[in-house]
Amino acid sequence: MSSRVAGGPSPAGGGPVPYLAPALRTVLLRAAEGATLRQIAKELRVSEVTARGYSARMQDALGACTLAHAVHRAHQLGMLDDLPKPGPPLLPPGYLEVLRLIAAGLSNSGIAATLGRPEYTVMDQVRRIRARLGARDRSHAVALAMAAGLLSVEDVLQSRVPPSCAHSA
């Protein structure tokens, strides 16, 4: 399973695209999708040690020092362009309402009062929203939701915000 370099530059202009044997390409693709080496080994029906060896050879072929770096290099070389793009994360309707109220500027206690839920429930929902979106904080969650199309300005304006919390336009 030696790695040979295919002729010609990559579509992304990052240099020649290395040839990867099917097992090495599988390791790369599944790693790019977020699978662990244990999961990849199970799918390939090989031991974890063998999967780790495949990973090391794939990293060498790409000139990378870690698996994450190999995925990055593969993206630069255009090798992962055919991977399906993930859609926006799915959020239950109740979480979307909480997200709208966060975007409208309400605190956890304000959201709890507006929705008639206990504050600890809202705190848990905010934590779960952030986790699903991969957000660092509440404002990052709103930014990511807007970018993914989960939330629009109209959604925020139509939220059930009490008059004392509403901002004039």
Mean pLDDT of the chain: 82
The confidence score (pLDDT) of residue 108 equals 95
Rg (CA), the chain: 22
pLDDT digit string, tens, across residues 17-34: 889 999 999 999 888 877
- Residue 134 pLDDT > 90: no
The confidence score (pLDDT) of residue 162 equals 52
- Residue 13 pLDDT > 70: no
Question: Token pair 């839920």 is at which residue?
Answer: 117
The confidence score (pLDDT) of residue 46 equals 96
pLDDT-derived band at 135, boundaries 50, 70, 90 = confident
The confidence score (pLDDT) of residue 169 equals 39
CA 142 to each of CA 27, 124, 167: distance values in angstroms, whole numbers, following the listed order: 34, 16, 17
- Residue 157 pLDDT > 80: no
CA 157 to each of CA 90, 91, 109, 162: distance values in angstroms, whole numbers, following the listed order: 21, 19, 19, 12
Rounded to the nearest 10 degrees, the angle between the axes of helix 67-76 and helix 48-62 is: 40
Say if CB 141 and CB 129 are below 8 A apart: yes
Query: Hey, is 7 helix, strand or coil?
Result: strand
pLDDT digit string, tens, across residues 58-90: 999 999 888 888 888 888 888 888 776 666 678
pLDDT digit string, tens, across residues 84-115: 666 667 888 889 999 989 988 889 999 999 99
Q: Please list, in sequence order, all residues whose beta carbon lies within 8 angstroms of the beta carbon of residue 45, skipping any fewer than 6 positions away.
A: none
Cβ neighbours around 86 below 10 Å, total: 9
